Amino acid sequence: METTTEEHPWELFPQDSKINRLIVGSFPPNKMVLPVGHKMRYLDGIEKINQKEKTKKFDFFYGSKQNDFWELFISSLKLKIEIDDLEGLKYWLEQNKWGITDIVLTTTRKKDSPSDQDLVPKKWNKDLIQKVLQNNEINFIYFTSKWVRKHFEKIISPSLYNSSKLFTLISPSPSGLRKFPKEVLLELPKVDHESNKEYRLRYYNFVLSNK
């Protein structure tokens, strides 16, 4: 059995509307991409059966129950949207000119893991991202991890984003609370007696509400 190849299920949101803020992630978790019951095989040789319904919050970017991105987003911007109101969230994003995409289009994995470090990209999302940057006046670009930003800056011409302000977000996954990137702490220092969870929320508020 060949190693499982995963294809991105959404690619970009919104598809046709103008945007001025762009969120760039890595790739959805394996259990969000493949159908329930699908047998997945990784480079370490281990096979697993996908049980997507146990991990899914909704079928959309950051729709895993283990990912707190939308909780952080809604709380930081003080939006009056329920976390399970996907259509309300999409409407708000489109009306307020926020776009979302990922840096990888197709990938295999080293092992059964949603971690960026375990992705083995087969096709980068270069053409689509370049098209978005060419067709929109993007003021802010937010990367969901250092890994995403590193590869973005490798494959995308700086001339397409040199007028944009770039931010690296703290990972919205549970691992994001373990250690913060140095550049994040320099951008907004952590204060005494502030828990890691409190700091992550304050950092999201700081960068996402930037004018």
Per-residue pLDDT of the chain (211 residues; tens, 9 = 90+): 588 899 999 999 999 899 999 999 999 988 788 777 778 888 888 887 777 566 778 889 999 888 999 999 999 999 999 988 999 999 999 999 999 999 999 999 999 888 999 999 999 999 999 999 999 999 999 999 999 999 999 999 999 999 999 999 999 988 889 889 888 999 999 999 999 999 999 999 999 987 7
CB 12 within 8 A of CB 99: yes
The whole model's pTM is what? 0.93
CB 72 within 8 A of CB 197: no
The residue ranges of DSSP E strands in 98-175, in sequence order, are: 98-102, 104-109, 119-124, 140-143, 165-168
Domains and CATH numbers, the chain: 6-208 (3.40.470.10)
189 to 42, 75, 179, 186, 209: CA distances (angstroms): 39, 20, 13, 6, 17
| C-alpha torsion 92→94→97→101, nearest 10 | 110
